[in-house]
A and B are shown apart, each in its own frame.
Chain A
Amino acid sequence: MHQGVKCSICGEKAVAIIRYARLRLCKRHFLEFVERKVERAIRRYGLVGRGDRVVVAVSGGKDSSTLASILAKLSGKLGYKLYLLYIDLGIPVYSKANREKVVELSKTIGKPLIVVDVKEVLGLTVPELAFKVRRPVCSVCGVVKRYIMNAVAVELKASALAMGHNLDDLVAYVLKEFFNQNLEQISKLGPRTGSVEGLAVGRIRPLYEVYERESLLYVLLSRTPFLPDECPHVRRGTMEFKIKELLDSLEESFPGIKFGLMRRLAKNLESYPKPSQKLSRCKACGLIASGELCSFCKITKQALGEPMGARVREYIRRKILELGLD
């Protein structure tokens, strides 16, 4: 009977074969391998400093759960404070199930959780808001999530907003933008983006060098709470999904090809053109905008008759006070 492969480090039963690194790892050494990758990315790209406040946006899915769990582990050693943020979008069944999972995650890793409930603050769920403004749910959802994530980071005086994008997500985004020749967009796909004082908090991507497969294995092996369910609005025929499928077969023939691209991209980011859009302060809420009003205030004004950014910021400030996080 086949006994399975052995860990290259300790000889225990291997649970992962990492071909690009020529390693076969047992559970313990695999978890350490991923944690070390995240720590190395944080140090290599200068993502977080001692004394920083970091907000990690969690969805209940595998990537943000892996990220929150590892950031919590490293927070003592690297000396930063970590806060979890969950945005309840009001998507029937899905949002509630994920909310419960994130509450469990927060307890498991021992870090505070801020929940922003869109229906509670706007009186409308994201699908209802999209219906009112006659735009696709995913596009409105993107605007709402980006706004709330930034607003929470600003109100918490955080120095970084950590996103769960993994290596495969980023490779797919880079190639999509390359096919469309949106080179300025590629310049935003590095391990970090800059902050704009008082208007926007920079984003960091600590899973920059972590494969999507490694992220799934991490939550499964570490028994970190997560839900594998997909948002009911997700479309599988998109270019990102197709690129991911194609790249899986490329990776099978050339192990490490995705990792190599993102390493080289991080070095070359400066040579990509920067977005030329002029940034301003939203007249209604005071956060970052590209015109008079930010996208969130525009959408909510259209749907509800008044821009809601300022009210959302007030709601967040109250939540922060209630949780004693100030």
Chain B
Amino acid sequence: MLLVVVEGSVVGVFVVGRVRVRMVPGGDVVEVDVGGVVSVRELLRRLGLSVQGYVVVRGGEVLTEEDVVSPGDELEVYRVASGG
């Protein structure tokens, strides 16, 4: 936990080390403790997902597997394979 203190008062609380991931489709939300800055490849590995099978998007921007994500990031993880 990180407390943001301005002139002696606590003005904010952050849970550090975590990224928030929303799975698409389905909408399930998971939080992953990444500790610090990690690559998208590493994030997917920790989620147990393959690099080929998923696409990671942050704020509407598509990330490659070599881009990095940081604690506090909100991400969407799209599954590539669809059926029907």
Contact A241 B83 (CB under 8 A): yes
* A62 CA / B81 CA spacing, docked (Å): 10
Whether B81 pairs with A212 at a CB distance below 8 angstroms is yes
Residues of A within 8 A of B (CB): 1-2, 4-5, 14-17, 24, 27, 59, 61-63, 168, 212-213, 216-217, 220-221, 228-231, 233-236, 238, 240-241, 244-245, 248-249, 251-252
Set of chain A residues within 8 Å of B37, measured between Cβ atoms: 1-2
B48 within 8 A of partner (CB): no
Cross-chain contact of A4 among B25, B64, B83 (Cβ < 8 A): B64
Contact A230 B81 (CB under 8 A): no
Footprint of A on B, CB under 8 Å? Answer: 24-25, 37, 39, 50-53, 55, 57, 61-68, 78, 80-84
Whether the pair B80, A16 counts as a contact (CB closer than 8 A) is no
A62 CB contact (under 8 Å) in B52, B53, B64, B82: B82
8 pairs across A/B with beta carbons < 8 Å? A5-B67, A213-B55, A217-B55, A230-B82, A231-B83, A236-B83, A248-B52, A249-B52
If over half of B's interface residues share one DSSP class (helix, strand or loop), that class is named, otherwise mixed; here it is loop
B84 to chain A: which residues have CB within 8 Å? 59, 61, 230-231, 233-234
Other than A216-B55, A252-B52, give 11 A-B pairs with Cβ distance below 8 A: A2-B37, A5-B64, A15-B61, A15-B62, A16-B64, A59-B84, A235-B83, A241-B83, A244-B81, A245-B53, A248-B53
CB distance from A175 to the nearest CB of B (A): 14
Determine which of A4, A5, A168 lies in contact with B81 in the assembled complex, contact meaning CB atoms within 8 Å: A168
Q: Contact check: which of B51, B55, B61, B66 meets A252 at CB < 8 Å? A: B51
Q: Are B24 and A241 in contact (CB under 8 A)?
A: no
- Give min CB distance, B71 to chain A, whole Å: 14
Report the bound CA distance from A15 to B55 in whole Å: 10
Task: Enumerate chain B residues within 8 angstroms of A168, measured Cβ to Cβ.
Answer: 80-81
A4 x B24 contact (CB < 8 A)? no
Decide: B25 and A230 in contact? CB cutoff 8 A.
yes
Residues of A within 8 A of B25 (CB): 228-230
Do B55 and A4 have beta carbons less than 8 Å apart?
no
